[in-house]
Homo-oligomer: A and B are copies of this chain.
Amino acid sequence: MKPIALDAMGGDYAPRETVAGAVMAAKEGVPVVLVGQKAALEAELARHSATLPIVDTPDFIRMEDHATDVRKRKEASINVCMQLLKAGEASAVVAMGHTGATLASALFTLGRIKGVERPTLLVEMPSEKGKVFLADGGANADCRPSFLVQFAVMATAYARANGVAEPTVGLLNIGEEDEKGDQLRLETFPLLKAAPGIRFVGNVEGRDIFKGTSDVVVTDGFTGNVVLKLSEGEARTILKWVREALTGSLLSKLGALLVRGSLQGLRAKMDPAEYGAMPLLGVEGAVFIGHGSANARAVHSALRKARSAVEAGLVERIRSGIAQLVVG
């Protein structure tokens, strides 16, 4: 397998955390090539007494730069990552940080899979049944019904690549009955019902996401992004309240000591760093985009996730799903 190109300059804590995460992944046998400023990356590698291949790129996109800057700055690290992927010298791209720039760079350099109207960011969320795959996580604020059908097909392909044999698909809506929702949902429902290659189970509601009523949840990128950020924020607040409740009195302080280990597992389950990065589905290559605030563990998770996706033939799966849709 060709190495995964990591934009080592992307994210709030780059290159320290990106390099640390890459070293962790490489130790497990994940092939990685670092893309970024050579001197800075070598200094970080030295701290770990590690060596990794480096592609030297002096320029990189800062968090405060505009997404459209990738069109002018061809030699920026994120663009070089995509060029390596396109040339077949890398098997995937992982970038933490500037979502807009990564999206633009992927679209511009790799292009869309034939038949895909809009690529989608897929979000993995914890649920009572394991995992829920939500699309779109924020790549497309305004959506047409056909976009949502394609999100369903692409998310189904991703869920299958992640070991879910027959993923069920729900349309996120404000009622369970078929005739519910706004104009977009009313028009999307019959299209999903008729779409080949997906297992549509009807409307699901906000409360169904954490219940895990369906494996895949489809929505527009505005709603999906609100869902993603609300669920992260709520988890953080509730776990904070739990901590406060547990340290409120001397008696409960003692109890808190006894339950600490049990709660750590739960905190890990709710931690975005565990999920590492979101796949960008629908472009010609395996691309993963992580939080700007990613730490080494998140980078590590993202690289592992990218390797699994490549091994499971993610891009081919999406290609064939979309082809079936276009023919059907």
Q: Which of B210, B225, B259, B263 contacts A234 (CB 8 A)?
A: B210
Flag whether A194 is at the interface (Cβ < 8 A). Answer: no
A183-B142, A258-B255 are known contacts. Are A207 and B232 too (CB-CB below 8 A)? yes
Q: Are A221 and B141 touching (Cβ within 8 A)? A: no
Q: What class of interface size applies to chain A in its complex with B?
A: 35 or more
Judging by beta carbons under 8 Å apart, are B262 and A233 in contact?
no
Is B226 a contact of A174 with CB atoms below 8 Å?
yes
- Asked if A108 is at the interface (CB within 8 A of a chain B CB), the reply is no
A146 CB within 8 Å of chain B: no
Binds B, one of A47-55, A76-84, A244-252: A244-252
In the complex, the chain B residue whose C-beta lies closest to that of A222 is B182
A224 to chain B: closest residue by CB: B174
Chain A interface (Cβ within 8 Å of chain B)? 127-128, 138, 141-142, 172, 174, 181-183, 185, 205-211, 219-223, 225-242, 245-246, 248-249, 251-252, 254-259, 261-263, 265-266, 269-270
User: Can you spell out 21 A-B residue pairs with CB atoms less than 8 angstroms apart?
Assistant: A141-B183, A142-B182, A174-B222, A174-B225, A208-B233, A209-B234, A210-B233, A210-B234, A210-B236, A223-B226, A226-B227, A227-B230, A230-B231, A238-B266, A242-B242, A245-B263, A245-B266, A246-B259, A246-B262, A255-B255, A255-B258
